[in-house]
Amino acid sequence: MITLRALLVLAMQAAFLFTVQAQEVRTVNGRKYVVHRVEAGQTLYAIAKAKAVPVEALLAANPGAQDGLSIGEEVLVPQDAVLKKELRSAPVLSATGGLQHTVQKKETLFGIARKYAVDVNALLASNPQAQTGLQEGMVLVVPVSEAQGQQHVSLSPAKPERLVDHTIQPGETLFGLAQRYGTTPDAIVRANEGLPTGPQAGQIIRIPVAEGFEPPVLVEEPSPVRSDDRYQVTFLLPFAVATNDSVLAGTPLGGSDRFHTTSRMAAQFYAGARMALDSLREAGLKADIRVYDTGETASVWGGVIKQQELIGTDLFIGPFHRAAIEQLARSQPNAHVVCPVPQSNKVILGMPNVSKVTPSRSELIRHSARYVVQRHAAEQIIQLRPDIVADKEAQDQMGRALNEALAGNSQRRTDTVVVARPGRRDHTDLIKKLDPKRLNVIVSTCEDVEFATSLVGKLKSLVDQYRIVLVGTEALLGMETIAASDLDPLGFLFAAAYFADPKDERNLAFLSGFQERFHTDADEYAYLGYDVTYQYLRSLMEHGGDVVSGLHEVSPRPLHMGFRMSRTGPENGYRNEYAIMLKQQDLTLVQAP
Q: CATH number of the domain that 451 lies in?
A: 3.40.50.2300
Q: Are residues 188 and 303 in the same domain?
A: no
Whether residue 5 is contained in a domain is answered as: no
Q: Are residues 345 and 386 in the same domain?
A: no
Q: Are residues 119 and 187 in the same domain?
A: no
* Strand ranges of the sheet holding 580-585, from the earlier edge strand across to the other edge: 418-420, 380-384, 439-443, 467-472, 493-496, 580-585, 588-591
Q: Are residues 204 and 249 in the same domain?
A: no
- Give the residue numbers spanning the domain of 200: 162-209
Whether residue 2 is contained in a domain is answered as: no
Identify the domain boundary among 476, 496, 516: 496
Q: Are residues 151 and 174 in the same domain?
A: no
Q: Which residues pair with 36 in a beta bridge?
A: 75
Q: Are residues 301 and 223 in the same domain?
A: yes
Cα R_g (the chain), whole angstroms: 28
DSSP string, 186-200: HHHHHHTTT-TT---
Q: Between residues 219 and 236, which one has the greater pLDDT?
A: 236
Q: Are residues 116 and 171 in the same domain?
A: no
Q: How far is CA 105 from CA 108, 138, 536, 578, in A?
A: 9, 10, 63, 57
| Tens-digit pLDDT profile for residues 464-482 | 999 999 999 999 998 999 9
**Is the pLDDT assigned to residue 258 strictly greater than 60?**
no
Whether residue 264 is contained in a domain is answered as: yes
Whether residue 294 is contained in a domain is answered as: yes
Least confident of 161-170, 223-232, 341-350, 494-503: 223-232
Q: Between residues 261 and 423, which one has the greater pLDDT?
A: 423
C-alpha 411 chain-centroid distance: 40
Whether residue 8 is contained in a domain is answered as: no
Whether residue 16 is contained in a domain is answered as: no
Q: Are residues 354 and 396 in the same domain?
A: no
Instruction: Evaluate the omega torsion of the peptide bond into residue 185 and state whether it is cis, within 30 degrees of 0.
Output: no
3-state secondary structure of 336: strand
Q: What is the CATH number of the domain that holds 146?
A: 3.10.350.10
CA distance 420 to 428: 9
What's the confidence (pLDDT) of residue 77? Answer: 92
- Structural contact between residues 494 and 465, judged by C-beta atoms closer than 8 angstroms: no
Whether residue 472 is contained in a domain is answered as: yes
Number of folded domains that form the chain: 4
What's the confidence (pLDDT) of residue 23? Answer: 66
Q: Are residues 146 and 251 in the same domain?
A: no
Q: Are residues 448 and 330 in the same domain?
A: no
Whether residue 586 is contained in a domain is answered as: no
Q: Are residues 261 and 386 in the same domain?
A: no
Identify the domain boundary among 155, 182, 199: 155
Least confident of 14-23, 35-44, 211-220, 235-244: 14-23
Q: Are residues 221 and 355 in the same domain?
A: yes
Residues 6+ apart with CB under 8 A from 225: 288
Average pLDDT over residues 145-166: 77
